[in-house]
C-alpha cells in the first residue's frame, strides 16, 4: 500500500472514529432512573431511619413573642397602639449571649432550647408578675432556601416536619438535567455548618436524617455533568445521528 493511500485511509478512519464518539456520547435520558421512592435496587443507597428532633433556637433568630393576659394595664404598656386588645405579638432577636430581652423581666436564656421549652421558661417567669399570663412563641425566620437546577428562591416553612419532597415541590420540579444522586443540604448546627449529601430516589429516604427540612436550611441541586451529552427524546437523538452521518459523508467527499 502506497504512503498516500495509507494516509488517506488513516484520515477516513479517524473521521469515522470521531463521529462514532459523538454518537456514543449523545444518548437519551433514562427516565426510569428519575423515579422517586424506588426500592429493592442494589444500585441505590439504603438510609437508616433517624428520630426527628425539634429545631433548637440559635443566635440571631427572631422570635415572635405574644403575651395573653386579662390585665389591660399590662397590655397598654406592652403595646399602646393596640390598647383595646390583650393579645400582642412582638418580635425579639436572640443576642450573641443567647438571651432575649422581654418587657418586665431580665434577660432570659433561650439559645439551645426548643420553642416549647423556651415558651415554658418565659411563661414561668412572666407568671411571677402576671398570674394569668399565657405566652405564645414562634420563629419569625422560619424559611429555607433552594438554588441550583431545581429552581431558586426563599420559601416559608408552613408546617411542622416539612419534608424534602414538599420543599422541592415549592421551588418547582426537577429538570431532566438535575442530579438526583447528589442533593445537598447546607445546615447550621451546634458544631458549625454541615453539608448533607444524599440520593433522593430511594424509598429509604423517608424518615432518614435527610428527610425533614429545618429553618435556615439551604438546598442545592446541581446539574448532572453527563446531561451535557444527553438529549430529551429519541427524535432528538435521531437528529444528532443524522447530522453526524451527514457530516461524515461531507468530510469523506471533501478528502477525496
DSSP line for 55-113: -B--TT-EEEEEEE-S-HHHHHHH-GGGTT-SEEEEEEEPPTTSEEEETTEEEEE-TT-
Say if residue 39 is in the same domain as residue 86: no
Say if residue 40 is in the same domain as residue 165: yes
**Domain closes at, from 93, 120, 139:** 139
**pLDDT in the model for residue 84:** 44
Query: Any idea what the CATH number is for the domain that residue 132 is in?
Result: 3.30.1950.10
Interval 154-211: pLDDT, tens: 999 999 999 999 999 999 888 888 999 999 999 998 888 999 999 999 999 999 999 9
pTM for this model (two decimals): 0.73
Q: Give how far Cα 146 sits from Cα of 171, 174, 220, Å.
A: 7, 12, 6
- Whether 57 is in a domain gets the answer no
**pLDDT in the model for residue 172:** 87
Give the model's confidence band at 14: pLDDT under 50 very low, under 70 low, under 90 confident, else very high: low
State yes or no: pLDDT of 65 exceeds 80.
yes
**Domain closes at, from 112, 139, 166:** 139
**pLDDT in the model for residue 237:** 47
- DSSP state at residue 256: -
Say if residue 77 is in the same domain as residue 197: no
- Mention every residue, 6+ apart, whose C-beta is less than 8 A from residue 29: 176, 227, 230, 231, 232
**What's the rounded mean pLDDT across residues 225-249?**
53
State yes or no: pLDDT of 31 exceeds 60.
no
Least confident of 2-16, 38-52, 178-192, 212-226: 2-16
Give the model's confidence band at 239: pLDDT under 50 very low, under 70 low, under 90 confident, else very high: low
Say if residue 156 is in the same domain as residue 47: yes
**pLDDT in the model for residue 71:** 82
**pLDDT in the model for residue 243:** 53
**pLDDT in the model for residue 176:** 84
Query: Any idea what the CATH number is for the domain that residue 199 is in?
Result: 3.10.560.10
Give the model's confidence band at 19: pLDDT under 50 very low, under 70 low, under 90 confident, else very high: low
Say if residue 118 is in the same domain as residue 148: no
**Total of domains in the chain:** 3
What is the residue-averaged pLDDT of the chain? 80
Which residue range is the domain that position 82 belongs to?
A: 62-139
Instruction: Note whether 194 and 171 are within 8 A (CB).
Output: no
Say if residue 241 is in the same domain as residue 125: no
Amino acid at each position: 500500500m502506497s504512503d498516500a493511500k495509507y494516509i488517506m485511509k488513516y484520515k477516513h478512519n479517524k473521521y469515522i472514529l470521531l463521529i462514532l464518539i459523538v454518537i456514543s456520547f449523545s444518548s437519551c435520558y433514562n427516565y426510569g432512573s428519575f423515579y422517586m421512592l424506588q426500592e429493592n435496587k442494589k444500585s441505590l443507597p439504603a438510609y437508616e431511619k433517624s428520630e426527628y428532633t425539634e429545631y433548637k433556637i440559635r443566635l440571631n433568630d427572631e422570635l415572635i413573642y405574644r403575651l395573653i393576659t386579662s390585665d389591660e394595664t399590662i397590655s397598654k404598656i406592652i403595646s399602646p397602639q393596640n390598647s383595646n386588645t390583650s393579645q400582642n405579638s412582638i418580635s425579639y432577636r436572640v443576642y450573641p449571649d443567647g438571651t432575649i430581652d422581654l418587657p418586665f423581666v431580665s434577660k432570659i436564656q433561650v439559645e439551645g432550647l426548643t420553642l416549647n421549652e423556651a415558651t415554658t421558661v418565659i411563661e414561668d417567669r412572666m407568671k411571677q408578675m402576671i398570674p394569668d399570663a399565657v405566652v405564645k412563641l414562634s420563629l419569625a425566620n422560619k424559611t429555607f432556601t433552594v438554588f441550583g437546577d431545581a429552581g431558586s428562591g426563599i420559601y416559608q416553612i408552613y408546617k411542622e416536619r416539612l419534608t424534602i419532597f414538599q420543599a422541592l415541590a415549592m421551588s418547582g420540579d426537577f429538570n431532566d438535567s438535575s442530579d438526583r444522586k447528589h442533593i445537598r443540604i447546607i445546615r447550621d448546627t451546634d458544631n458549625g455548618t454541615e453539608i448533607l449529601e444524599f440520593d433522593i430516589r430511594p424509598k429509604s429516604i423517608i424518615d432518614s436524617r435527610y428527610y425533614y427540612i429545618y429553618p435556615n436550611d439551604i438546598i442545592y441541586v446541581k446539574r448532572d455533568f453527563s446531561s451535557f451529552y444527553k438529549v430529551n427524546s429519541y427524535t432528538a437523538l435521531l437528529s444528532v445521528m443524522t447530522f453526524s452521518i451527514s457530516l461524515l459523508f461531507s468530510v469523506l467527499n471533501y478528502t477525496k
